[in-house]
């Protein structure tokens, strides 16, 4: 999954702000890595890191996509896609 694909996914989630869409990224063993929701329109994106049980809010799709890319890379997820 490229950075551009992550941005597209986040854009999709935030376009449908009147419907709560939650996307979870998991390892191949179904271990959850992160969950993402778009909380507010136009975009406040919340990323939950399941390993550390932390929640971060991002004001732009670019910021959230970069953070998510870094998190997935730390698991080696993006390298295998």
For residue range 41-52, list pLDDT tens digits in order: 667 999 999 989
- Look over the chain and give the mean of its residue pLDDT values, rounded to a whole number: 88
Q: Is the pTM of this model over 0.75?
A: yes
Q: How many domains does the chain have?
A: 1
Query: The domain containing residue 29 runs over which residues?
Result: 3-80
Rounded mean pLDDT of 4-20?
88
Within 8 A by CB and 6+ apart from 69, the residues are 3, 6, 78
Is pLDDT above 70 for 9?
A: yes
The torsion angle over the Cα atoms of residues 80, 44, 19 and 47, rounded to 10 degrees, is 40
Average pLDDT of the residues in 28-37: 92
Whether 79 has a pLDDT exceeding 60, the answer reads no
How confident is the model at residue 8, as a pLDDT? 94
List CB contacts of 63: < 8 A, sequence separation 6 or more: 45
């Amino acid at each position: 999954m490229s950075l551009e694909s992550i941005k597209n996914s986040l854009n999709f989630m935030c376009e449908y702000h009147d419907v709560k869409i939650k996307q979870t990224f998991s390892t191949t063993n179904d271990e959850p890595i992160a969950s993402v929701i778009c909380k507010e329109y136009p975009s406040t994106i919340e990323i939950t890191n399941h390993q550390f049980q932390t929640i971060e809010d991002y004001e732009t799709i670019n910021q959230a996509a970069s953070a998510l890319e870094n998190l997935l890379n730390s698991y080696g997820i993006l390298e295998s896609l």
